[in-house]
Amino acid sequence: MHRSRNSITSSKAPRNSSWKKRLHIERQTPAQSQTRREVNVTVHKIRIEAETPAQTRRERDAAAHSRRVERQTLEPR
């Protein structure tokens, strides 16, 4: 059973849940956000390097001849 919202938050607090997300972001320490940024960069690099050389070569050749190449999409995880 939940208590009524008014007993927990003041009546002036925003009703939508986005303020909780903002609060969470503001509470993060700089070290956490720095680590997350580094992880995102690493994941991005790995995804780019995962493209096969043949695929990038095909795309480069197609660009040189101004053709459109159907890209192979990665399976959604």
Share the mean pLDDT of the chain. Answer: 67
> Under the phi-then-psi rule, with left for phi > 0, alpha for psi from -120 to 50, and beta for the rest, what region is 12?
alpha
Q: Is residue 62 within 8 Å of residue 69, measured between CB atoms?
A: yes
Q: What is the DSSP letter of 71?
A: P
Report, in this order, helix, strand and coil percent for the chain, each rounded to 5.
60, 0, 40
The stretch 9-25 carries a mean pLDDT of: 57
Q: What does the domain layout of the chain look like in residue ranges? A: 36-70
The string of pLDDT tens digits covering residues 30-68 is 667 788 888 888 888 888 777 667 677 777 778 777 766
Its pTM stands at: 0.28
Judged against a pLDDT cut of 70, whether residue 70 lies above it is answered with: no
